[in-house]
Amino acid sequence: GSVIVRGDETVVIKATTIKELVDTTGAGDLYAAGFLHGYTQGRDLQTCGDLGSLAAGLVIQQIGPRPRQNLR
């Protein structure tokens, strides 16, 4: 999970439920990518954090930092 703070606004993001933790390589980068994708599309902070958490949650269930699943 994570906590996002902007000014007086605080948003708590729950961790994505996964089947099995395999490798954490790339998790931070994928979280940032998901978050920034949402942010640059004008999404609210909750959605941005959820996108980041989802992307990170997918990549930690495999070996290596490149997601095998299409993140669209």
Question: What is the set of active-site residues?
Answer: 29
Angle at Cα 59 formed by Cα 49 and Cα 39, nearest 5°? 25
Q: Return d(Cα 35, Cα 20) in angstroms, integer.
A: 23
d(CA 8, CA 6): 6
